[in-house]
Structure 1
Amino acid sequence: MTTKMAIRNIITSQLCHRIAKSSISIFIPPFSTRNSPSFSSSAASHHRNLISLCNLFLRYGFPPSKFPSFLKQNEFLLDSSPLEIEKSFKILLSLKPSQEFLVSTVSGCPRVLQLEFLEKWQLGVVNWEIPNITSIAIRNVLEISRKFGLSPDDVFKCVKCLKGSGFSEDTITRVLENVPLVIMSSEDKICSKIDFLIGIGIQRREIDRVICLFPGFLAFGVEDRLKPLLDEFNDLGIRLSEVKREVLRNPVALGLENGELSQCLEMARNLKCRVAIKKDIFRDGEFRAGYNVKLRIDSLRRHGLIYRDAFTVLWKEPRVILYKIEDIDKKIDFLVHKMKFDVQCLVEVPEYLGVNFDKQIVPRFNVIEHLRSSDGLGDEVSLQDLVKLSRLRFYNMYVKPYPECEKMYGRFAGDDVVGRNCHTAGMWKLFRPQQYTESGEDVKNVKSYMKTLP
């Protein structure tokens, strides 16, 4: 390291330390070569340039607490002229007059501050003719263009192609927000993906909605991803009309990995469960059944289960396939954060996901928590005991001996226990003839009739 660089690092670190300590007002003492004879005139120039940069960034809304680390990670800015950087700021604000846009764009990709690059973009966004384009879309386009050396004309050609394909402004914005690398695609590649959708029976007027709901579709290759996926559907015996119906209902289904639906559908076909449950699983066709399995697998994996364990849970408790994903997430969050069990317990006790949350899980947990806090609980209750015990057995073990838990449990409060232990009246009692009291005249008539008999 040269002496010049060492001096610059010392000055920069001292200045950044002062900035980090003060988020409201910053006082930077003047630099004097008299008090520091070892510093050269170049160091003094660097000091003045650094002060100007700091003031400039802070004036345009950059948080003082984050600026030191930002400057340390992007030391090339120390060699830039404050005048040029301010011009770059003004060009960025002309694209989207928002301080949040400016700060997020520069923080995410500081290299966009190159003045020569931004000068080409002064009229670039205006030519797109998308008045409501979002800050995220513009930022993504600038980052990709700076990284791969694209010009505004290259981006304009892509936007023009998307418009010519019938995409609305909202759809184009969604594409630039989620898959900005599309701007590097040729017109032929974009058209080939549209032709693929037409090939499975989707009308042109419906394609805009499909892409708007699932813009990631444009990132897939036709030959290496989409056509093998369609061949897989065909091998599974799924008709093209069913594929079209499911894609229109949920276009994200086209994001399936090759072979993923085959595994999920095979498991669903081989489930050992009640006929009524299996009938409900396949009620809307095999594609929907396999895809529902895939969604539940993904939900369990997000909570920390590996792929094999997630399949095990569904295999042991098939009813989970019929439950909403929101309900599954709610039960697992309660299990991990409230009940303090490890998510791995679901592999041993998958029945937890099959019981009612409000009527069984919460009341039982409240009873156990109350007994644990009052030292009324002997042995620790496992998740298996908490879930698999019958309602009456749980009541007799943990609720009946403790009157304060009656209201908390709620299932067998008061005299309801006695009522549940009594058998209902038999049919012979319900249809028994009504009894009438006998009068004296009735008795006299019967006796006179009996005397007439031989």
Structure 2
Amino acid sequence: MGFNEKETEAILDSNESLRFTEFELIRRRIHILQSAGIIGSSLSRLVSKRPDVLTSHEINSFLRFVVTDFRSEFRGKIGELQIERLLSAADFRFLPEFEAKIRLLLKFGIPKETLADFLNSINLTKSLGLKSMEETQRALDYLQPFGGSKLLLRRPAILDYDLKSQLIPRIDFLLQLSGNDVEATAKVLYRFPFCLSYTVDHVNGHVEFLHSNAGLSHDEIFKILLVYPSLLSASRTRKLKPRIEFLKLCGLNSHDIFKFLLRAPLFLSLSFEDNLANKLVLLVKLGHTNRTKELAMAMGAVTRCSCKNFQEVIGLFLNYGLSCRDIFEMSRRHPQVLQYNPDSLEEKLDYLVGEMGREVREVVLFPAYLGYNLDDRIKHRFEEKRKAVTEGMSINKLLTVSAATFSTGKEDRR
């Protein structure tokens, strides 16, 4: 295995049972370790760190399982590095339970066909090598109401966390924030399972910042988390603080900020230099006044699209003969118009002008037209009314009346 005489004596001294174990038994143990993929420097490193890996009876069943039984039953294998790390740091008392823990994961809902990938995605030492069967069972039972196997499959590393010191306090904090709503808490965890890697102090820091700086209640903060849990990964100093200050400078009160963040939570985490600053410049050029609610609402709308998409939308409107003032009026009345797909907008404008025979300026008065489905709403209703006299009927009236009113043909004309 590459050890010199001095190193060999040190290994023998650190594990006295090695001197009295039959050579043939040691040779067989080395052979099975090599069969598990631990060869060359990996084998030397492992034996140097844990000499008892050559003599321990407690790892017999584990080695047999990972080398033979696991590969034949699950058509896959646990990575060599995973096995080496496990044997280097695990409590050997828990390794005879390894196969039983694997069966427990299958019973919990981890699919048999993805089990090997799952095991190679976790820290086997933390997940299974330092925990008893009872501890593993308790952790799985605790996770069951919060997504169970679906949550683990989203982020296998959750199994690495300690139940008492990590999982329970972190999930309990979110649960209390939700008003003890288990289902809503489970949704947050499923959408952003990485949040369980954050300490309670980290999450509480974000909550208290939004509470003290934006005036949001804990219930409102959780509702924002429900639609955008990734805000927990945003820096409080570099992202949250300047964004909240911007909204307050635009005249938004705590209720306005809550509604804004529900609609445009990405605003809290997008890059200012590479994204928000460019969009802010374009909005001001269109006619939006700085530090106004209208500007804030428009900023909220364009956070949902890329800078390129935003520029293409403006270019499209300009190509159809609309002015910057027209685009400003549209965005003021219907901010979402700035985030629509340019190709979809072009199809609707072509249909408006070419098939319906309307003036393109009608969208300035009724920009919501651009948000309706072309085939199911716009074409369908126009074709239905093509037979009747539609001159004088606004596209607003054509599209906004209820389906029941439209089917009776009693919509007003104006």
Q: TM-score, normalised by structure 2?
A: 0.54
In structure 1, the residue corresponding to 2:170 is in which secondary structure?
coil
Contact 2:127 2:161 (C-alpha < 8 Å) held by counterparts? no
**1:292 matches 2:331:** no
Q: Does the C-alpha gap of structure 1 residues 205 and 16 become closer, same or farther in structure 2, counting only changes over 3 Å? A: same
Q: 2:101 aligns with which of 53, 59, 65?
A: 53
Determine which structure has greater relative contact order: mean sequence separation of CA pairs < 8 Å that are 6+ residues apart, divided by chain length. Answer: 2
Q: CA deviation at 1:90?
A: 2.6
Partner of 1:195: 245
Q: Distance in 2 between matches of 1:263 and 1:234?
A: 17
Paired letter, 1:136? K
Q: CA deviation at 1:207?
A: 0.6
Partner of 1:429: none
User: Which one has a larger percent helix, Structure 1 or Structure 2?
Assistant: 2
Q: CA deviation at 1:126?
A: 3.1
Q: Distance in 2 between matches of 1:358 and 1:269?
A: 26
Q: CA deviation at 1:206?
A: 0.9
**1:220 matches 2:266:** no
Q: Deviations over 1:251-286 (max 9, x none)?
A: 4334344465444234313316xxxxx79x959814
Q: Distance in 2 between matches of 1:108 and 1:6?
A: 33
Q: CA deviation at 1:211?
A: 0.8
> Where do residues 135-174 of structure 1 align in structure 2 (5 Å cutoff)?
135-138=186-189, 143-144=194-195, 146=197, 150-164=198-212, 165-168=214-217, 169-174=219-224
Q: Distance in 1 between matches of 2:140 and 2:223?
A: 18
Q: Deviations over 1:352-391 (max 9, x none)?
A: xx8548959xxxxxxxxxxxxxxxxxxxxxxxxxxxxxxx
In structure 2, the residue corresponding to 1:255 is in which secondary structure?
coil
Paired letter, 2:331? F
In structure 2, the residue corresponding to 1:124 is in which secondary structure?
helix
Q: Distance in 2 between matches of 1:262 and 1:218?
A: 21
Larger Rg: 1
Contact 1:58 1:64 (C-alpha < 8 Å) held by counterparts? yes
Q: CA deviation at 1:176?
A: 5.9
Contact 2:317 2:327 (C-alpha < 8 Å) held by counterparts? no
In structure 1, the residue corresponding to 2:373 is in which secondary structure?
helix
Q: CA deviation at 1:8?
A: 4.0
Identify unmatched segments of 5+ residues in structure 1: 22-44, 273-277, 301-309, 332-353, 361-454
> Where do residues 319-398 of structure 1 align in structure 2 (5 Å cutoff)?
319=353, 323=369, 325=371, 327-328=373-374, 355-356=379-380, 359=383
Q: Distance in 1 between matches of 2:268 and 2:133?
A: 36
Partner of 2:6: none
**1:110 matches 2:143:** no
Size of the aligned set, in residue pairs, is: 293
Paired letter, 1:4? I
RMSD: 4.6
Partner of 2:313: 264
Q: Does the C-alpha gap of structure 1 residues 254 and 19 become closer, same or farther in structure 2, counting only changes over 3 Å? A: same
Q: Does the C-alpha gap of structure 1 residues 296 and 153 become closer, same or farther in structure 2, counting only changes over 3 Å? A: closer
Paired letter, 1:265? I
Q: Distance in 2 between matches of 1:187 and 1:56?
A: 44
Q: CA deviation at 1:68?
A: 4.4
Q: Distance in 2 between matches of 1:264 and 1:85?
A: 59
Q: Distance in 1 between matches of 2:167 and 2:120?
A: 28
> Where do residues 82-93 of structure 1 align in structure 2 (5 Å cutoff)?
83-84=131-132, 87=135, 90-91=138-139, 93=141
Partner of 1:81: 129
Contact 1:71 1:77 (C-alpha < 8 Å) held by counterparts? no
Q: Does the C-alpha gap of structure 1 residues 238 and 259 become closer, same or farther in structure 2, counting only changes over 3 Å? A: farther
Contact 1:179 1:216 (C-alpha < 8 Å) held by counterparts? no
In structure 2, the residue corresponding to 1:210 is in which secondary structure?
helix
Q: Does the C-alpha gap of structure 1 residues 73 and 67 become closer, same or farther in structure 2, counting only changes over 3 Å? A: same
Paired letter, 1:297? P
**1:207 matches 2:269:** no
Q: Deviations over 1:148-187 (max 9, x none)?
A: xx43222221222223333342543433653425345225
Q: Distance in 2 between matches of 1:358 and 1:152?
A: 56
Partner of 2:284: 234
Q: TM-score, normalised by structure 1?
A: 0.50
**1:134 matches 2:185:** yes
Q: Distance in 2 between matches of 1:359 and 1:77?
A: 67
Identity of aligned residues (%): 14
Partner of 2:165: 119
Q: Does the C-alpha gap of structure 1 residues 62 and 214 become closer, same or farther in structure 2, counting only changes over 3 Å? A: same
Identify unmatched segments of 5+ residues in structure 2: 2-29, 38-63, 76-92, 355-362, 385-414
Contact 1:88 1:118 (C-alpha < 8 Å) held by counterparts? no
Q: CA deviation at 1:218?
A: 1.1
